């Protein structure tokens, strides 16, 4: 019959937990988040009008996470606003097919 002391059981449990954590972290590193650029029309709260923008769509969280380009800021300009157009309380962006 196989028995474990409390210390051996604790160490075995911690070892299994450590192995699972290493596997999960390894899987997340090996398979990074899939993000793609989606052209969309958003309501800009700064200028209070509809603007064309290229948004980053995160496949894991199934939502827009960042603004890559905005027509108000120019085609090659970096986006320096606070990105309220994709915030949780903002209206949903309308995706365009290219």
| Across 77-89, average pLDDT | 79
Task: Report the distance separating Cα 89 and Cα 85, nearest Å.
Answer: 9
| Across 73-78, average pLDDT | 72
The edge-to-edge listing of strands for the beta sheet with 35-44 is 63-70, 49-58, 35-44, 94-95
Task: Report the distance separating Cα 93 and Cα 34, nearest Å.
Answer: 19
Contact of 13 with 5, CB cutoff 8 Å: no
Which pLDDT tens digit goes with each residue over 14-63?
999 999 999 999 988 888 777 889 898 888 888 888 888 889 988 878 88
Both tokens of residue 42? 């958003």
């Amino acid at each position: 019959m196989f028995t474990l002391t409390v210390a051996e059981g604790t160490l075995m449990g911690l070892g299994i937990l450590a192995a699972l954590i290493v596997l999960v972290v390894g899987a997340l590193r090996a398979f990074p988040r899939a993000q793609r650029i989606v052209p969309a029309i958003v309501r800009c709260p700064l200028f209070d009008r509809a603007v064309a923008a290229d948004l980053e769509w995160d496949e894991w969280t199934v939502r827009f996470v960042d603004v890559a380009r905005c027509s108000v800021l120019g085609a090659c300009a970096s986006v320096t606003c606070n990105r309220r157009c994709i915030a949780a309380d903002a209206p949903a962006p309308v995706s365009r097919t290219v």
